[in-house]
Structure 1
Amino acid sequence: MSLSQVPELYVLRHGQTEWNVSGRMQGRANSPLTPKGIEQAGIQRKILEAADVSGFEIVSSPQLRALHTAVEIFKGMATEIATDAHLCEIDVGNWQGRYRAELQVEGDPKLTVDGPLALYEQADGGEGFAALRVRCEAFLCGLTKPSVLITHGITSRMLRLVALDLPTEAMSDLPGGQGVVFHLKDGTQTVLT
């Protein structure tokens, strides 16, 4: 799959959560947004208002931190927010809720602004990147119109890798972070801040 086959996308990560601050692995668990996380959603709202996403489908992960971010971004607008489990964060199995500092990974941790990627690939009982890629490919293949996607750090990276037709090994080369918007169109990615 290449971006030429995928509709125009705006991909967002949820705002900062309490567990992001404390350094805990979230995976499928939920942690509330912090005041800074709500502020980051406000920044994303302004970015999307400037981009004019009228007519775009809005799809969020059903996990509360992503859905709360979506509601903060689109509150007061006559917009339907759909949810899709394909946009959930990568499952980190038995590492869910554990502190990152206490977890050991083998080899290069592949450090990014979103944390060490190896924690997600090597999580005991976790989903792993191969299964996440299959999930993201299935989701993107089903899109029929331009969309705004509100998701999670690792799932955002994988969605963008698939849309840009990049190998999984390039995940650490992609930008990440909270409070930003990734615009994908015509085979290119632009970071909007």
Structure 2
Amino acid sequence: MPYPELYILRHGETIWNAEGRMQGALNSPLTERGKGHATKQAALLSDIDLTGFQILCSPQGRAFETASIALARKVPFIRTDDRLCEIGVGDWQGKLRHELQPDQPLDDGPDGPVGLYELAPNGEGFERLEARCLGFLSDLASPAVLVTHGITSRMLRSIIVGRGRSGVAEMPGGQGNIFHLKNGVQKQLG
């Protein structure tokens, strides 16, 4: 299915990201480094004409704080959508990643071991996250700038490039990044 042109931003580093904590629905504020990530996003977007683009953001504080910095010169207000929230991590919310004992080895990366998010007891899991993201994308009728979270961003981008939930772990990650998606092709800015 063809999707509108998108710019997908991941929030800047938070205190809990720096500590290696699972956030899920919980929140912690941006660090100074995280505010720097958002400032860099603003610079990357400064020369891009976003006329006609919707601006949609996760209502979670870390994403909204990032959007407020990154898009301050672009839009007078930011609309939120709950479907852009981070994947639910159930019983693991607030826990340090190194305290978790998954029963299988996991590859680590810039967002921690992505597979942990699939294993979280009482968590949302990739199947339900994929359904939520598909619903969101199906409702998009025009180009948009999305401000979201690490795993949710990966799922959205994996769907758009035709990989679905099986491609989430292979999507590039990291804090404070911007991905441009158009005609099923993903390009990282900066």
Q: Same fold (TM over 0.5)?
A: yes
For residues 3-82 of structure 1, the aligned pairs below 5 Å read 5-82=2-79
1:112–1:172: 8 Å Cα contact kept in structure 2? no
Shift of residue 113 of structure 1?
1.3
CA-atom RMSD in angstroms: 1.2
Shift of residue 179 of structure 1?
2.4
Aligned counterpart, 1:152 = 149
Identical aligned residues as a percent: 49
Please, which moves more after superposition, 124-133 or 67-76?
67-76
Q: Are residues 161 and 14 of structure 1, via their aligned partners in 2, closer, same or farther at CA, if it must alter by over 3 Å?
A: same
Please, which moves more after superposition, 114-123 or 49-58?
49-58
Q: Are residues 99 and 78 of structure 1, via their aligned partners in 2, closer, same or farther at CA, if it must alter by over 3 Å?
A: closer
1:28–1:63: 8 Å Cα contact kept in structure 2? yes
Instruction: Determine the C-alpha separation between the residues in 2 that align with 1:91 and 1:122.
Output: 11
The C-alpha deviation readout for 1:78-130, integer Å capped at 9, x for no partner, is 43311000000000001000010000113241322111012100001100000
1:110–1:116: 8 Å Cα contact kept in structure 2? yes
The C-alpha deviation readout for 1:135-158, integer Å capped at 9, x for no partner, is 000000000100000000000000
> Structure 1 residue 101 and structure 2 residue 98: aligned?
yes
2:25–2:86: 8 Å Cα contact kept in structure 1? yes
In the alignment of these two chains, the number of paired residues is: 190
Unaligned residue ranges in structure 2 (runs of 5+): none
Instruction: Determine the C-alpha separation between the residues in 2 that align with 1:38 and 1:17.
Output: 9
> Structure 1 residue 115 and structure 2 residue 112: aligned?
yes
1:111–1:172: 8 Å Cα contact kept in structure 2? no
1:105–1:118: 8 Å Cα contact kept in structure 2? no
